[in-house]
Structure 1
Amino acid sequence: METPIQLNQANLGAIGNHIPVPKYSRDTENRGIVHIGVGGFHRAHLAYYLHQLKQSGDVSAWNIIGIGLRDADAKLYDIFKKQDHLYTLMVKHPSGKIEPEVIGSIVDFKMGTTDPEPVISQMANENTKIVSLTITEGGYNFNPTTGEFNFDNPDIQHELRHPNDPITVYGFLTAALKRRRDAGLPAFTIMSCDNIEHNGDMARKMLLAFAEEQNPDLAAWIAVEVSFPNSMVDRITPVTTPADIETLAQNFGVQDAWPVTCEPFLQWVVEDKFSNGRPAFEKVGVQFVPDVGPYEKMKLRLLNAGHSVLGLLGAIHGHPTINACVEDALFSNYLRAFLDQEATPILGDIKGIDLEDYKNSLLERFANPNIKDSVSRICSESSAKLPKFLIPTIHENLATGGSIKFATLVIAAWCYYSDKQVDLNGRPLQIIDAIHGKLHDAAKETANNPLAFIQQESLFGELAENERFATSYTSLLQELHQGAAIKKLMQGPL
């Protein structure tokens, strides 16, 4: 193929001869949505839904202004600036087919790390109707055991003393909402798109806790005026690799410094509670419901927990990707047994959902050989994920006398993973976790105290005090430390 065409607004006409491009005007005046946390998932999900709506000819559709609040966001800021905030979404099908499309729904990107004013001003602008979030579980700044706001965070302490110099999402939101209130403007909706059960409720609880400490009058206004719809989001979005960039350039003729890859599956269930209007997302398949709770729980306890089951066990065994895990019959059977025997019994009936079909689809999605989602990505930030995805299932099954044998091995594997930092073949593991040091120290201490790892109450609650769980867990952990193969231990519960 000829020299790849650099992705930018001026080149869309030429790029359109190779792959689909935006057909709509990217008018930056009609902004509407400010989004904090412009990672791969946001670009494969909310931004894609809005792109679809605009492609359909909906002239009322809004645009997105991306916001970066971490130093790590500077790389995307630089790339977006060169590419006029355009990027390519590469949908990877199980057959090997790749469908790329240029997405144009993000029209600007602002960094709040060095100068917060442009970000605050954009949020406070009357054209901003929604502030959406993908800040990961850890970004909500709550204690995973108590569910309460963490005021010990040094950044939070700084913001309480200096409300005009925000650092975290809470500082920026309160600064912008204060300006809107003072100017007599309506509040924007705060819409969480993170994998947290009752994510809107959690965003509301955390923001109000912060605002009540910083400015009680403002907190009272937020409590009445700001809507926080809960939502359930779903689309597997692996980390972009150099090979993805090369494939796009060589096979499709487009030079994009940071394309996004994803699976074909796409789902978004949202409560229709917006304080200042919203796009007509229902036109492109978004499901609006009165209560998203059952759908959230289903996704977190099946898909997200299932990912962690495969990820941690697969990491210890040495499988590099999730699809490699599913291609291994023992791993596939183990996951299905966990889903059937431990996760499903606590879900109950979910309107409009056939759980057997849903679980079948999960196995198919995880097996997609064209996605190759790394186990290291799935295992990253497990301290923020497992207290929401997996550990509640253990607690609920302990309370009802249900099975815990499959999930208990995953917790033992997590301890081993955190301690040894190598798989059972001695190969080093890439461990990414905000509290990695704390996890490593607690796991190391199990040599003297077998329960040390699960005695971290902020993660596990009172699991260490449950004799049934503690006995099973310590036995499995001992076998791991004695060199038992993870496959041997997996065969036990089956």
Structure 2
Amino acid sequence: MSRLSSATLAQLPADVTLPSYDRAAVTCGVVHIGIGAFHRAHQAVVFDDALNAGDLRWGIIAASLRSPAVRDQMQPQDGLYTMLVRDGAAEQARIIGAVQQVIVAPEEPTALLAALASPDTHIVTLTITEKGYKLDPSTGALIADDPQLAADLASLESPQTAPGYLVAALALRRAAGLAPFTAISCDNLPHNGVRLRNAVLELARRHDADLADWIATHGAFPETMVDRIVPATTPEDIAALTQRLGLEDQAMVKTEPFIQWVIEDKFCGPRPDFSAGVQLTQAVAPWEEAKLRLLNGAHSGIAYLGGLAAIDHVHEVLALPEARAFVEALWDEAETTLTPPPELDVAAYRRDLMARFDNPTLRHRTRQIAMDGSQKLPQRLLAPIAARLAAGQGIDALALAVAAWLRWQAGQDDKGDAHQVDDPLAAPIAATLADARTSQDRVAAILAFDAVIPPTLATDDRFRTALTHWLTLLESQGALGALAAFRH
């Protein structure tokens, strides 16, 4: 079977939407670090929209900091891939052409530095997951003893981390008399722009104080909030698309109709016309907080409870009335901690979220969402718990979600089947819990784990009591039993 590529575009069925621009005339004004499925279904689509609108400055040079897998998928296809938008029985196929090149940084560090330092580059976006920033999830400080970051602190000749690449490239731009690029974190980190800026400035200052001052004065790190559900692509998805297109596409992505990108209106250079798909604002934090605590917080609760119950997909978890009631209760609790912008109707947002979760064609896997929980819990669940306790309010639903995460660390679901705890702190968390014999012991151990649990919660007896209650139920009655008890 032939692969999707520039040479085979004309063979596609007539109902597939193709790029309307000449890809050979495109200039790459964007470098994206972290070329995964989410970027291909989100930011790349926005830049592809700009190209389709006639502004050919916004092609993308993408980079992976680790695996060559995406490069190997996309390179034989000339960077082209299919985005499938699924909504119930309806499905739309669109070919995205914005990605012009994919670099594997460990293989070609100088190529990535050259792209970042190019005069054509105006925007750098990042989707490297929370752990890619090398920041302590509780404090936001650089994790100095991380081996890759330690290497970048010693030398930036061949960077190993995203902050390292940004600092090294900004040094090259300064030396060449170029302005900095606008660096946009697109990961679910609270205050992601501030955190990225602080990471870059701290690393720069360790090497060159004048460089750090130049970045602080002339650079831009806007806050941003991104939202689109992008489940992992399966071999079955690729096979089905091959049947439909008559061509093989190893880089395809599948997603939902909904897309949202809120960006702080703070750039230090050119930007595309963001008239479609992007909302520019002076304050991203209220949008970000609502998304983290409603969508992402509920997703985490669904992932761990569903995963423990050996339920594979989000929509299957929500087919259970007790799970649906739990999500609504979690939203009731989290909503009281929000300061939503005037444009956000929280009741309508909740209804839309439930409809998105219910979309059966996405087949969003609970185990995919369960990854990297130690990096996600502080902003998704622990922050609203702290806010409610400070206000003297209950935390039953939020605490159940945290207890389910803690139960997940055992590496075994309620049926006794083993699962991998895919998390950068999996080993130290396992060591922390190794000698705990009872639910109470496990709660005491995790509360002392300050890489995840903030001090205010670690010493709060209300949190300890709620967490112990739900962990005991989860361990004795399983996730479904705990959900049934919660509902009643």
Tell me which interval the TM-score lies in, with the shorter structure as reference length: over 0.9
8 Å CA contact retained: 2:55, 2:272: no
For residues 199 and 161 of structure 1, the distance between their equivalents in structure 2, rounded to whole angstroms, comes to 25
Structure 2 counterpart of 1:311, from 291, 303, 316:
303
Output the CA distance in 2 between the equivalents of 1:344 and 1:164: 47
Aligned position for 1:458: 451
> Could you say what secondary structure the match of 1:206 adopts?
helix
C-alpha distance in structure 2 between counterparts of 1:81 and 1:485, whole Å: 46
Q: For the Cα contact (< 8 Å) 2:180–2:268, is it kept in 1?
A: yes
1:69 lines up with 2:65 in the alignment? yes
Q: Which amino acid is 2:35 matched to?
A: V
Query: In 2 relative to 1, CA 178–370 (structure 1 residues): closer, same or farther, beyond 3 Å?
Result: same
Q: Tell me how far apart the structure 2 counterparts of residues 115 and 242 of structure 1 sit (CA, whole Å).
A: 29
Matched residues in 1 for 2:355 and 2:390: separation? 32
- Give matches, 1:411-422, under 5 Å: 411-419=402-410, 421-422=411-412
Q: 2 CA distance for matches of 1:119 and 1:16?
A: 36
Answer yes or no: is the 8 Å Cα contact 1:442–1:453 preserved in 2.
yes
Counterpart residue type for residue 36 of structure 1: I
Taking only the aligned residue pairs, the percentage that are identical comes to 35
Residue among 132, 152, 172 paired with 1:179? 172
The residue type equivalent to 1:325 in the other structure is V
Contact 2:50–2:56 (8 Å) recurs in 1: no
Per-residue deviation, residues 42-81 of structure 1 (Å, max 9, x unmatched)? 00001011112222x32344100001111x2x11112221
1:168-188 CA deviation, whole Å, 9 max, x = no partner? 112111111111111111111
Q: CA-to-partner distance for each residue in 1:203-261, whole Å, 9 max, x for gaps?
A: 10111111111221111110011101111100000000011101111123231012101
- SS at the partner of 2:451? helix
Kept in 1, the 8 Å contact 2:27–2:58? The answer is: yes
Is 1:377 the counterpart of 2:374? The answer is: no
Pair 1:216 & 2:209 matched:
yes
Match of 1:429 in 2: 419
Matching residue's letter, 2:208? N
Aligned to 1:330: 322
Following TM superposition, by how much is the alpha carbon of 1:318 offset from its aligned partner in structure 2, in angstroms? Answer: 1.7
Alignment match, 2:471:
477
| Residue of structure 2 equivalent to 1:205 | 198
* CA distance in structure 1 between the partners assigned to 2:303 and 2:7 by the alignment: 42
Q: Provide the rounded CA distance (Å) in 1 between the counterparts of 2:245 and 2:148.
A: 44
Contact 1:18–1:253 (CA under 8 A) maintained in structure 2:
no
RMSD: 1.5
Tell me, in whole angstroms, the C-alpha distance in 2 between the residues paired with 1:430 and 1:364: 30
Q: For residue 356 of structure 2, what is the aligned residue in structure 1?
A: 365
- Shift of the alpha carbon at 1:427? 2.2
Which 10-residue stretch deviates more, 441-450 or 284-293? 441-450
Query: Which amino acid is the alignment partner of residue 86 of structure 1?
Result: L
> CA–CA distance in 1 between the matches of 2:108 and 2:95?
30
- Counterpart of 1:235 (choices 218, 228, 233) is 228
1:413-445 CA distances to partner (integer Å, 9 max, x unpaired)?
Answer: 2222112x1211212224311121222232333
Equivalent in 335, 344, 349 of residue 344 of structure 1: 335
Partner of 2:84: 90
Tell me the residue number matched to 1:289: 281
Classify the secondary structure of the residue corresponding to 1:429: coil
2:396 to 400, 405, 416: 405
- Give yes or no for contact 1:376–1:431 (8 Å, CA) kept in 2: no
- Pick aligned residue for 2:103 from 94, 105, 110: 110
What is the SS of the residue equivalent to 2:82? strand
Residues 1:349 and 1:235: Cα distance change in structure 2 (over 3 Å): closer
TM-score (norm. length: structure 2): 0.96
Cα distance between partner residues in 2 of 1:198 and 1:160? 24
CA 403–123 in structure 1, closer or farther in 2 if over 3 Å, else same? same
* Aligned 8 A contact 1:33 1:62 in 2: yes
2:61 aligned partner, one-letter code: I
Letter in 2 for 1:479: L
Runs of 4+ in structure 1 off by over 3 angstroms are 491-494
Task: Check conservation: 1:61, 1:280, Cα contact below 8 A.
Answer: no
2:435 is paired with a residue whose SS is helix
- Gap change, CA 1:96 and 1:16, over 3 Å in 2: closer
Q: Which residue of 2 aligns with 1:390?
A: 381
Q: For each residue in 1:107-160, what CA deviation from the matched residue of structure 2 results, as whole angstroms up to 9, or x when unmatched?
A: 111121023111111111111111110111111111122221111112122122
Question: How much does 1:16 deviate?
Answer: 5.4
Contact 2:106–2:160 (CA under 8 A) maintained in structure 1: yes
SS in 2 for 1:151: coil
- SS of the residue 2:16 aligns to: coil
Residue pair 1:189, 1:228 contacting (<8 A) in 2 also: yes
Cα distance, 1:387 vs. partner?
A: 1.4
Q: 1:476 offset after TM fit, Å?
A: 2.5
What is the alpha-carbon distance in structure 2 between the residues aligned to residue 29 and residue 123 of structure 1? 17
The alignment partner of 1:447 has SS state of coil
The residue aligned with 1:19 is 16
TM-score (norm 1): 0.95
